[in-house]
Structure 1
Amino acid sequence: MSASLVLDIAPLGSLIAYADGEPKPPARFTKKLAAWERRNGVGRLVRKEPARERPTYTSPPCFTLHEGNFGQGGIILVTVMRTYGIDSDLTFRVIERPRVGQVRVVQDIGDNVELLHLAENREAAELWLAKAGYSRARLEDVTADEVGADVVEGRAAA
């Protein structure tokens, strides 16, 4: 699917795979493999942003995928997130949608909403929120309407 379909169809918390269609190079070609891994991977959809027009610039609609946290001893040192515009030449695929009963911990950032955590249930979400200490975060239940939206406006989700 295209990047614009991800914006239109995929709910926050979906697991999205992206690829450029090139075959994976052998491990002995470390630079080529690193370049391939930057254009082929999986991430959780954490933010959708509409187009923005400012006096000095215009940005197209985009979305952000959270690819992982890296750290040691329970302390996160680096968070990897990648943002893709609707003009991206990559191919995207929804691997997994949030399930009914799961709860999103979200926070408003400007006019947008950002996913902070996807919990299995409300109790787990409240526990995570108490430990994480986000003061402006709120909980959102994943609804059946959202999960069942495989076709929107005649556009099919992959």
Structure 2
Amino acid sequence: MSAPRKALIVTVALTLSVIGLKFLVPLVAPIIPADRPHEFANGLGIRLLSIGHEGNRVTWYNEIRNGTGSDITLNLTSTCRHGRPPQESGPSGTSLEGAESIVIPWGQTHGWSESCPSPDSGRWWVYTMRLSDPTGEHRFPPLTLAGRAH
């Protein structure tokens, strides 16, 4: 294989990696069906309670359970995509206002909802939550929930 061809293959591979990391990773790492809870390795659990469509918005209701062994403060943001392949639906409330901070005592649960613009009901959605601990004690990958809004 010639040097220019190797350089082209490496350039294409790196470009696809960057594109994949920016656009695909939030959609695939990890994807949780809407009817299943998810627990991170440190004991923090997320469970989708419902997806609802009303007017021109789709709303996600979540339960966050703190099983980490100590009180935790979380900054939460989210994004929504719809259709196949997923397309941006528009900014969520936290995207417009910035991260929402919540404190969850150890052993307790906290409800959290978020909404995004929605073209109509019956669509498939992927909803990506980003949780960060401002103390840096806990790290969480983006969590993507997938389901249909009615």
Please give the TM-score of this superposition, normalised by the length of structure 1.
Answer: 0.26
Taking structure 2 as the reference length, what is the TM-score of the superposition? Answer: 0.26
